[in-house]
Amino acid sequence: MVVPRQGRREPSYQFDTGATEDAASGRAARPCGTDCIRQALLGILAPVREVALYLAAGVVYVAIGVAFPEFLFAWVVGVGFLLVSVVVLPALVERFRQ
């Protein structure tokens, strides 16, 4: 005799709806409010920003190489350009933004 299988049970815990505000009181539902959302977005966008920096550095390096072909022959110059464009310039921008 086969016992029929019953449907799935609902989880005993509640799902986080991600609400940023308590509808009844109008207060922030999370202790940090919109700062949590901003931090989460920055955490998601950090890898995208890094890839965009490398992509932009490559495009600019190729453009400079087309204009000045001797620029491409020195690998030390290429490494220095990458270091300046991906590490130094973003650090300076962040420093002056604050």
Query: How do residues 32-74 score in pLDDT, each as one tens digit?
Result: 666 666 666 667 767 788 888 889 998 999 999 899 888 888 8
Which pLDDT belongs to residue 35? 66
* Number of separate helices (H) and strands (E) present in the chain: 4, 0
Q: Evaluate the CA torsion angle 52, 58, 61, 63 in order and state its sign.
A: negative
- Contacts of 36 by beta carbon, 8 Å cutoff, 6+ apart: 30
The CA distance from 38 to 13, in Å, is 27
